[in-house]
Amino acid sequence: MNMDVLDSPAINQLDSSQRAELMKQVRQQLAVASTQELLEKMSRKCFSKCINKPGSSLDSSEQKCIAMCMDRFMDSWNIVSRAYFTRLQRESTQG
């Protein structure tokens, strides 16, 4: 997100409660976009890893592979997200 947008004249005319509401909406939209990206990447990666011959249904080994792949992907995503947010918090308190 371009932070210059937050310093635009239109934004500066908002009172603090309006700015807070705007930021809340932006955070919600970013969370939705992040979730959509996560699901898309996870689906693409796990499908290519686990499905050798696409058909009308998944066999038990494909189901197990997909479940394990999704679990590992989510674990990795959570670790990276926590590290990223910890770094952002640390940097915001230092600067």
The answer to whether residue 26 is domain-embedded is: yes
79: which 2 tokens?
Answer: 């670790």
Cβ contact 39:47 at 8 Å = no
**What's the pLDDT at 48?**
95
In angstroms, the first-to-last Cα distance of the chain is 19
Distance CA 92, CA 11 (A): 22
**What's the pLDDT at 45?**
95
The answer to whether residue 86 is domain-embedded is: yes
| Domain count of the fold of the chain | 2
The answer to whether residue 94 is domain-embedded is: yes
**Whether residue 63 sits in one domain with residue 37:** no
4: which 2 tokens?
Answer: 């210059």
This prediction has a pTM of 0.61
Digit-by-digit pLDDT tens for the chain (95 residues) are 445 555 666 676 778 888 888 888 988 999 899 889 989 999 999 999 999 888 899 999 999 999 999 999 999 989 998 998 898 888 888 86
The answer to whether residue 49 is domain-embedded is: no
**Whether residue 65 sits in one domain with residue 95:** yes
The answer to whether residue 85 is domain-embedded is: yes
The answer to whether residue 95 is domain-embedded is: yes
DSSP calls for 43-83: HHHHHHHH-SS--SS--HHHHHHHHHHHHHHHHHHHHHHHH
Q: Which structural domain range is residue 18 located in?
A: 12-41
